[in-house]
A and B are shown apart, each in its own frame.
Chain A
Amino acid sequence: MAQYLVLIYNDEAALDAAREEDPRAVTAEHGRFAAQHGAALRGGNALEPSSTATSIRPDGAGGFTVTDAPFAEAKEGLGGYYVIEAADLDEAVDIAKQVPTLGGGVEVRPVMVLD
């Protein structure tokens, strides 16, 4: 088995609107996903909106540049993640397809095992 990080990208405006309409609906969808794929889940959480993100880049001279905003700017923002376990990429993709997203999608990345 291998571990994959599933990064959840949402359209934050759509997410806000959905939360305004029914704050429990989004959580409930993730609850359903977690119940269905509990065996594969190794962790995960929601993240505060990308407006709360801080990016830190080495400046190349031994110091750092700390800036407001997420590392990569996109229409969609990183909204949360799961760590899942799957036999191969096809299985990971099958699970990731069922992660609820709002106006966005997910990225799947193998976790490098360091030992």
Chain B
Amino acid sequence: MSVAAHSVERARPEITGEIDKAGYVLVAFFAIPFFLFNILPVLFGFYVAFTRWSIVGAPKWEGLNNFTRAFNDHWVAVAFKNILFYGVIIVPSVTVLGLVFALFVNKRYPLSGLARTLFFAPTVVSATVIGLVWVWLLDTQFGLVNHYLSFFGIDDVPWLTSTRWSLVGVSIASIWWDLGLAFVLFLAALQDIPGEINDAAIVDGANRWQRFRYVILPHLRPVISMVVTLQLISTLRIFSQVYVMTNGGPAGSSSSPIHYIYSIAIVRNLFGYASAIAILLFALILAVTFAQRFLLKERA
């Protein structure tokens, strides 16, 4: 061992047992409820996934039956396929629009404060309210969206009533709702970029696009990674909008895994089967998150 390392070790403060105990007590205020109400139910959920259980009575061990059933369940496949489409529509839209809006109000100009508030406002409204409002806006016959589209000669679009459009309709509401958070994160990151770097790029003759592409965007990469991760997880768990706007229909075309889990657990009381599907969703979220983090890190 080197002398330097030795001296560092000697410089460590002595930790007494009493301090340790006090720490445990302080941590316990959080740790015990967290263990009881977060960790334990998750562990219990894993156990229940291998059983047949409807709250009353003992869970009956079923081995992998619930998982086999899930893999053979047409509606599980539909829900997981839908979630990929939701991801493809919502994640890039929220990321790009969030960035565009943030760039738009990054500089101070008259009413930019109001614009910031307006862009963020949907985020503070509950998903249920968002869903109800968008049901009205997207109504096929008397919705505002179709009304305005008709000015351009576009025929009524059945946003929520056709198997072709329902997923898009729910996605539009979700994008509007989720945009605020991405917008704030990007705005905060933009404000953190030192003005000198931009000034130097201007002096070097970089045009607006070049400044964005080679100066601003590299600085935003960690935030982009975070926004994409958060948005991906949020989209994989999409529920409220689906429940309020289409109830997963028509023909399951807008359903999501969480919506299906809800209907299996709360409506049908098949908690074992619902837990098995939840575990599959958990595995998917984990895999997608790792893959996405890896890819963005590699590119960075």
Real complex partners, A and B?
no
Q: Enumerate chain A interface residues (CB-CB to B < 8 A).
A: none
Residues of B within 8 A of A (CB): none
